[in-house]
Each structure stands twice: as C-alpha cells, then as structure tokens.
Amino acid sequence: WMEKEKERAKKEREIQERECPPLGMESHKIESDQLSASSMSQYRFAPQRARLNMQGSDEEDSMRGGAWCANSEDTIHWFEIDARKETEFTGVITQGRDSLTDDFVTSYFLAFSNDSREWTTIHDGYADWLFFANSDKDSPVMNRLAVPVVARYIRIIPQSWNGSLCMRLEVLGCPLSEPSAFSYRQNEVTPVDYLQFRYHSYSEMVALMKSVNDECPNITSIYSLGHSAKGRELVAMVLSGNPTEHEIGEPELRLTAGLHGNEAVGREMLLLLMQYLCKEYKDRNPRAQRLVEGIRIHLVPSLNPDGQEKAFEVGSELSSWTTGHFTEDGYDIFQNFPDLNNILWEAEDKGKVPKLTPNHHVPIPEDYETNSSIAVETKAIISWMKSHPFVLGVNFQGGESLVAYPYDNLRLNKPFSEPEDEPRVTADESFFRWLAISYASTHLTMTHNHHGSCHGDTRTGALGIINRAKWRPITGSMNDFSYLHTNCLELSVFLGCDKFPHQSELAHEWEKNREAMLTFMEQVNRGIKGIVKDEQGNPIANATISVEGINHDITTAPTGDYWRLLNPGEYQVTARAEGFSSMTKLCVVGYEPGATACSFNMAKSNWDRIKQIMALHGNKPIRLSYANPVGYIVQKPKPLDVGPPGFVLTGVQRRRLRLYRRRQQRNKKLRATTTLPPTTTTTPPTTAATITSWYDPWPLWEGQSSTHGGITDSPLDYNYDYNSD
Ligand SMILES: *[C@@H]1O[C@H](CO)[C@@H](O)[C@H](O)[C@H]1NC(C)=O
Ligand SMILES: *[C@@H]1O[C@H](CO)[C@@H](O)[C@H](O)[C@H]1NC(C)=O
Ligand SMILES: *[C@@H]1O[C@H](CO)[C@@H](O)[C@H](O)[C@H]1NC(C)=O
Ligand SMILES: *[C@@H]1O[C@H](CO)[C@@H](O)[C@H](O)[C@H]1NC(C)=O
Ligand SMILES: *[C@@H]1O[C@H](CO)[C@@H](O)[C@H](O)[C@H]1NC(C)=O
C-alpha cells in the first residue's frame, strides 16, 4: 500500500509540474467556431469575444464587445469549448470584461464531455467543486485542476458574478493525439539545435548577450544606449564585420523590441537572431556572412527593461494586457516622442515646405529638453537614433498580427479638433508598403488573418499590413519621429495576438519570423547609395540628397556616405551642400538586389569663391573690374555668344553661356517674387580693389564636365543675391 501511495503521489506531482500550455483562446489557435455559449446579451458580446485579453470598445455601435456576455434573462449559463480532439485539461484562466464598467465572474463550476451530451462536473465526492474566480475586470485568475481531466469538450458554468455576467478566458491543456505534444513539436520545427527556446529575465538576457559576444568576438560588440528609470542599462548588440565602428558605405540597421515590457516575443526573437547570426556566420552560411559583413546590425531586445522584469515575474499566462507595458514612471515609450508631424503639416498647409521649412530633419521644439513628461528611456533612444546613420529600423510589438507603417498620427482640423477624413501619407508611402509587405508576406502566418484580426477592428485585407493612422492613430510615435527627424525609415511589426505566449510557442514563433527578419534586413540594400565628396576627395557631411518626386530629403553621414531607399525606377537625384554648387544625376534602381551606386563630387559654388576672395580682402566690398571673370558674371548680360575679353568660345561653351544667362534671368524673376533675404547687402563701392588672379578661373570657361559650374538649378543658389555696381 505504501508503495502504491508513493507511486500515486509521484504521478500527481508529475502531472502538476507538467504545465500544459494554453489551448489558444488568446492566440486564436482555437477558432471561433470551436466556441459556443448558452446565450449572449447582444451580438457584440458573442462567444468569440471571450478570448483572454480581448480588447473591446464601449461604444454602442461598435461590434467589438470587451467579453462574452450572457443574456441576463436566462437562468442557466455556460460557455463551451470544443478542443476538437481528446485533450488533457489542466486549468482555466478567467478575466472580466474590457470596459469602463465592472463586470466579472466570481465563481464557476467546470464540466467535461467526450460528446457534448453527457457532462461530468468536477466534484469533491460530496458536491460540485466551486472554483473561485475574479475580483476585478482585468487581472487574469488561474485555477489549476487537482487532477487533469481527459475529454474533448469543456464547459465553464458561472455561478456568481459582479455587474453583468461577462467573461474572457483561456484554457490550459495538452492535446493527446500527438504524444508528448510539445517537445515533439519543438524537434519537428527546429532546424538548428543550438538555440534555446525559453524566456529570459533581464539578467539572463544580459548574460546571454555576453555569451554571444564571447562566442563571436570579432563580429559582435555590446554597448548601452543609456539607463532605465530604475538604472538598468538598455543593452544593444552590434553585429558587423567591423562591429565597433561605422564603415564608409555600410548601412546601419536597427531592430528593437520590448518598448512594452509585456510584449515578450520580439525580445526573444532578437536574442535568437543574434545567436543564429553568430553561429551561422561561423559556419560560413553565405547568407549570414553577407548580412553580417554588408550591414551594421544593431539589436536592442529590451528598450523597457523595468517593464520586462515586471511582466517576467508575473509570467506568460497572467501578465494581462498591461503589466509591464509602461515604464517604471508610467510612460508608453512608443508614443512618447516629440510630435513633429503637426509642425511639418502646418508648414505644408502654408506652402512653406521645402523652401522655408525642411521636408526632413524637422527640428525638435525648444521646450522639449525641459519637458518633464518625456521618459528617461525615450531620451536615451532619441540620442541613440541621432548618433548613428541608421537607414532602416523595425520595432517589434505584440497584441496584433500585422505590420504597421507610418504615418502613425492623424492631422486634426482646427478649430474643432476633428481628424481629417484621409490620413496624410508619407512621401515614401510606396516604399514603406514594400517594406511592410516584405515582412508580412515572408512571415509564416501574418497574411492568414482574413478571418478577422485579434480584436476585430483591423482591415489589413489579406496583406497583413496597415497604415497606423488608419487603424489606431497615435501622436508622438517612434516611427513618425524617426521618419521626420532622422534618415531612418522605421516600422512596427506586431508579432501576434498573444503578447506573452507560453514558452512552448517560442520555437514556432522563431520559425514564423526567422525568414521574415532576414528578408527585412536585406531590404536595407534597396535603392541608391553613395558618397558625397568635394573636389579634393574629402567627404562632405550633412549634404542633402533629394529625389525628384519624393518630397522627403535625406542627408549624408559625417563620413559623407548616404543611403536612399527606393523602389525600382529612374530617379533624378540632386546633392546639395553649403558652399558647393548643387549637382543632379540620373540614377537607376533595378530589380536585382543591391543598391545602385550614385556618388557625387561637388564643386565649390561660385559664391563660395567670391566669399573666399572677399575674405582675402578683409570682407570689404570689392569693386569688381570689368576685365575679370568674376566681375563679368555679375554684370548685366553682354551680347550673346561673346565671352570675356580675350576668350574665344567653343560651341559647347557658347551653349553653356546661354544656359547660364537664361538661369540668371530666371533667378532674377524668382528674386522678385520670393521673400528670401539676400545674403549680402551691397554698399556702393568706395575703393577700387584689384583682384589678383590666384584663383581658378570661372569653370564656365573651362572644358570641364557639365556637372561643374552653375548649370544645374539649386534653391541654395537663390539665396545668393548679388548686386554689382
Ligand atoms: C473521455 O474518454 C476518455 C477515453 O477515451 C476517458 O478516459 C475520459 O474519462 C472521458 N472523459 C469524460 C469526461 O467522460
Ligand atoms: C461590482 O459591481 C458594482 C457595479 O455593478 C461596482 O460598483 C463594484 O465596484 C463592483 N465590485 C468590485 C469589487 O469591483
Ligand atoms: C576572427 O578572429 C579569428 C581569430 O582571431 C580570425 O581567425 C578570423 O579571421 C577573424 N574573423 C574576422 C571576420 O575578422
Ligand atoms: C511635453 O510633451 C508632451 C508629449 O510630447 C506634450 O503633450 C506636452 O504638451 C509637452 N509639454 C510642454 C510644456 O511642452
Ligand atoms: C545640417 O545642415 C542643416 C541645413 O542644411 C543645418 O540646419 C544643420 O544644423 C546641419 N547639421 C549639422 C550637424 O551640421
């Protein structure tokens, strides 16, 4: 008897330790037609609204109820799930209704069946066993079964409730038809055996990153973006052929996760990605080598480590919708950035863009630094975004299954603060859509959500992508800020309905996202790239690159290099830099992978030459002598086709001269109509200065390439108003 009792106790312990994962109410693995109920109060509180963490709307005309709610006129209530196969049930998690009112179930019975006709209720030998449930509407409450029950159907039979009878729930169970279900599945889907599919606390995460760094010391490097409110480092991992510095011509890419600490999948995906790239690089996987050597990849798995710890402690099943979502100080980092959209849009409406207000690198308002409603984490992220020439970025979130691209914000019509009918679109809308599709379509399940999204308010079609402003507009988002203040195009990837799925899902999540992440990283090589240099070959930092037809410029990095992500096509690309003549080129982006080289060698602008001369003369006004090329330029037009005295013009030079004069006349007209202030005011010359001819002659008179000299038009040139005597 003792032996038998020991055996029984051991078995019971094993069963209790063997925690079955959720069957998938929250993740939607359980489909809507597996759910039924005794009744519903209205259609918007139908049984499919009973999924754990379902987000609802209290608006009367919305179909998105925040729970399943029973018809109060009935006397018997039950909620039923058909697992569709024999299942070992081990527990139930319940939650109240997502609403402003307090509706939740406080106790229930559980019944099981193999055919949905004969039901066995769990009892203690004397009476049915009453499970105590919720005491508020949001916190999930778990009840484990003392002894697991094998059955196909489960019923939750509410016995008491507060407010209306409404509930959301999840069921824990192991399907029996696949023996030792999830260890088996892990092996099946895992092509590599060196990856560990488990969640990491903050300290485990840092230790793992260090171990990857030890494993691959010459392609990885770890650094910190700054501190969280509680003093934890925001740790980043760089992977690159030369990880510690920017290499000229190499684009920088960032993948971040954990802005919301309870959205745990993205963090683990990035930890897996760094292990994968390290190992595959060492094993000479050519794709991994191309990525690591061709891109500087920054991975930040946890931008909100304080929230991460909070959610991690509560665990994957009970962390609810918001535990650890916010920072320690209560901020949602993703929407805590300066709002630059409205600055740009206001200027656009007044017709000031891009002549008076730039269409890129919109300045942060001055009061930003003193604004106390900005999280320390946000500040750290902003200075990080500014300190690297990032080209492309993605932040991983959760609670939906889609890719959202900017704008994230909606313009409000004054004075009623009504949103505009149609959201404004970015100048790079088509490329953003391309990026979004490249992720969603290579993800294994993201385009399968045509049966409805996680919460029933998303219209992604079958593409799995959406413009955030059309979906859930927010102000001050990281993506909008990145687009308007830096060169980096940033999107959000929402990895699934369940923000914090059971650990046994991680292997499958990795399979779903691995190819999508690799494909996304490869998109950084689309479009054009190049280096902007002066005639001596020195890089020009902060030069502006404009693409005709796309009202959003980008700038060169301190090392003079730039990347402009573009879809295939032919583009007129103009480089501009202070002190240089602007320069335009045709650059063609093809369908083959790899960015098109499109570099510029800029010549000093004529005005810059004049300034040099003036500087040489103590910035005193100069009397420009007639016989001198500089003097000649600023004179009234001479008879056509006659060069400066002493020059004989070739046909090409004559053509240039005509072009040049035409431009001068146009500039003059423009000057008359724009309000741009002249950069110099000319006082009548008092002294006659002679000019030594130490400097290069005006390039117009040289047989140089047509990109030199002032043949191209440039708004910068319009600044240089110049009058001669
Ligand atoms: C369902 O059938 C299995 C055997 O196939 C049995 O072990 C189990 O007890 C049954 N469950 C119920 C609730 O009748
Ligand atoms: C129960 O519901 C009532 C309203 O029906 C509400 O006033 C009360 O606060 C709720 N109780 C709790 C514990 O939330
Ligand atoms: C990494 O370091 C090892 C040993 O120092 C060296 O053999 C290898 O070539 C290095 N790889 C790279 C990419 O620098
Ligand atoms: C501080 O920033 C927040 C969020 O960007 C903004 O709503 C608020 O108006 C700002 N406050 C001040 C005083 O600038
Ligand atoms: C870059 O150029 C813009 C004007 O084109 C200027 O406002 C800005 O201060 C410059 N930034 C740096 C870092 O030089």
The CA 49 to ligand 2 mean position distance, Å, reads: 22
Distance of alpha carbon 663 from alpha carbon 713, whole angstroms: 8
CATH architecture of 528-604: Sandwich (2.60)
Number of alpha helices (DSSP H) and beta strands (DSSP E) in the chain: 16, 26
Please, where are the H alpha helices in 66-156? none
Residue 664 in 3-state DSSP? helix
CB 653 within 8 A of CB 699: no
Q: How far apart are CA 15 and CA 149, in angstroms?
A: 11
Cα(526) to centroid of ligand 5, in Å? 26
Residue 562 φ/ψ, nearest 5 degrees: -145, 160
Using a 6 Å cutoff on CB, does residue 113 contact ligand 1? yes
Burial of 694 (0-12, 13-18, 19+ CB in 10 A): exposed
pLDDT value of residue 433? 97
- Strands 390-397 and 489-496, bridge-based pairing: parallel
Neighbour-count burial of 431, counting CB atoms closer than 10 A to its CB (0-12 exposed, 13-18 middle, 19+ buried): buried
Counting from 1 in the atom list of ligand 1, the atom nearest the Cα of 114 is 1
Hey, what are 672's tokens?
A: 């008359």
Helix (H/G/I), strand (E/B), else coil: 23 = coil
- Residue 665 gets which letter from DSSP? H
Q: What is the pLDDT of residue 670?
A: 61
Contact in structure between 261 and 339 (CB atoms under 8 Å): no
Ligand 1 close to Cβ of residue 154 (< 6 A):
no
- pLDDT value at position 639? 44
Q: Whose CA is nearest to atom 8 of ligand 1?
A: 150
What are the residues whose beta carbons fall under 8 Å from the beta carbon of 408, sequence distance 6 or more?
A: 468, 469, 473, 474, 477, 479, 480
Mutation pick for ligand 2 pocket among 161, 162, 164, 165 (CB with most ligand atoms within 8 Å)? 162
Do the Cβ atoms of 97 and 164 come closer than 8 Å? Answer: yes
Residue 623: its pLDDT value, please?
60
Q: Which of 370, 392, 400, 163 is nearest to 260 (CA)?
A: 400
Can you give the C-alpha Rg of the chain in angstroms?
33
| Residue ID of nearest Cα to ligand 1 atom 11 | 151
CB 137 within 8 A of CB 78: no
Q: Which residues pair with 587 in a beta bridge?
A: 571
State both tokens at 135.
């005491």
Ligand closest in space to the Cα of 289: 3
Q: Which residues are CB-neighbours of 45 under 8 A, at least 6 positions away?
A: 65, 67, 68, 69, 166
SS (H, E, C) 177-244: CCCCHHHHHHHHHCCCCCCCCCCCCHHHHHHHHHHHHHHCCCCEEEEEEEECCCCCEEEEEEECCCCC
Ligand nearest to the backbone CA of 83: 1
**What are the angstrom distances between the C-alpha of 561 and each of 497, 531, 537, 575, 594?**
40, 4, 12, 12, 16
Closest CA to ligand 3's atom 14: 218
Pocket test for ligand 4, best of 373, 409, 417, 484 (most atoms within 8 A of CB): 373
Q: Name which residue sits closest to atom 6 of ligand 4, judged by CA.
A: 373
End-to-end CA distance of the chain: 118
CB contact at 8 A, 114 and 64: no
* pLDDT-flagged residues of the chain (< 50): 180-190, 625-647, 674-725
- Give the model's pLDDT for residue 261: 97
Q: How far is CA 555 from CA 199, 535, 543, in A?
A: 40, 19, 5
Instruction: Identify the bridge partners of residue 175 per DSSP, sorted by sequence position.
Output: 87
Ligand 1 centroid from CA 121, angstroms = 13
Closest atom of ligand 2 to CA, residue 101: 4
Any residues with CB less than 8 A from the CB of 285 and at least 6 apart, and which?
A: none
Ligand 3 centroid, distance to 248 Cα (angstroms)? 21
The two beta strands, 569-576 and 544-547, are antiparallel
Asked whether 266 and 311 are in contact (CB, 8 A), the reply is: no
- The residue whose CA has the least distance to atom 11 of ligand 3 is 218
Q: Is the peptide bond before 406 cis (omega within 30 degrees of 0)?
A: no
Whole-number Cα distances in Å, 367 to 104, 143, 310, 338, 530: 45, 51, 32, 10, 36
For ligand 4, which residues put their CB under 6 angstroms from it?
338-339, 367, 371, 373, 476
Return the ligand number nearest the Cα of 148: 1
Atom of ligand 1 nearest to the CA of 152: 1
Q: What is the pLDDT of residue 515?
A: 97
Q: What is the pLDDT of residue 193?
A: 74
Let me know: does 140 contact 318? Beta carbons within 8 Å: yes
CA dihedral in degrees (642, 645, 650, 656; nearest 10)? -60
The pLDDT assigned to 644 comes to 46
- In short, whether 151's Cβ falls inside 6 Å of ligand 1 is yes
The CB of 163 under 6 Å from ligand 2? The reply is yes
User: How far apart are the C-alpha atoms of 255 and 268, rounded to whole Å?
Assistant: 12
- The residue whose CB lies within 8 Å of the most ligand 2 atoms, and thus the one to mutate among 102, 104, 161, is 102
- Give the residues surrounding ligand 3 with Cβ less than 6 Å away: 218-219, 241
Cβ 139 under 6 angstroms from ligand 2: no
User: Which residue lies with its CA nearest to atom 3 of ligand 3?
Assistant: 218
User: Are residues 85 and 177 in contact, defined by beta-carbon separation less than 8 angstroms?
Assistant: yes
Q: Is the CB of 215 under 6 A from ligand 2?
A: no
Domain 12-178 CATH (choose: 2.60.120.260, 1.10.3720.10, 3.20.20.60, 3.40.640.10): 2.60.120.260
Q: What is the pLDDT of residue 607?
A: 79
DSSP letter at 676 equals P
Ligand 2 atom closest to the CA of 102, numbered from 1: 2
Q: Superfamily for 202-525?
A: Zn peptidases (3.40.630.10)
- Residues whose CB falls within 8 Å of the CB of residue 692, separated by 6 or more in sequence, listed in order: none
Length of the chain: 725
Pick from 17, 26, 163, 21: which is nearest to 94 by CA? 26
Cis geometry, peptide bond prior to residue 439 (ω within 30 degrees of 0): no
Output the pLDDT for position 191.
Answer: 53
Contact at 8 Å (CB) between 721 and 671? yes
Please give the number of the atom of ligand 3 that sits closest to the Cα of 293.
Answer: 13
Ligand minimally distant from the alpha carbon of residue 555: 5
Q: What residue has token string 């008092």?
A: 686
The residue extents of the domains of the chain are 12-178, 202-525, 528-604, 629-674+684-718
Cβ–ligand 2 contact at 162 (below 6 Å): yes
Give the whole-angstrom CA distance, residue 255 versus residue 281: 19
Give residue-wise pLDDT tens across range 355-395.
888 999 999 998 887 888 999 999 999 999 999 999 999 99
| Ligand that comes closest to the CA of residue 477 | 4
For the whole model, what pTM was predicted?
A: 0.82
Tell whether ligand 1 has an atom less than 6 A from the beta carbon of residue 588.
no
User: What is the distance in A from the centroid of ligand 3 to the CA of 216?
Assistant: 9
Nearest Cα to 496, choosing from 482, 511, 477? Answer: 511
- Which tokens go with 456? 């029933």
pLDDT in tens, 144-180: 999 999 999 999 999 999 999 999 999 999 998 655 4
Residue 541 Cα to ligand 5 midpoint, Å, equals 9
Centroid of ligand 1 to alpha carbon of 157 (angstroms): 20
d(CA 199, CA 335): 26
**Which of 215, 216, 218 to mutate to test ligand 3, by most ligand atoms within 8 A of the CB atom?**
218
CA distance 50 to 59: 18
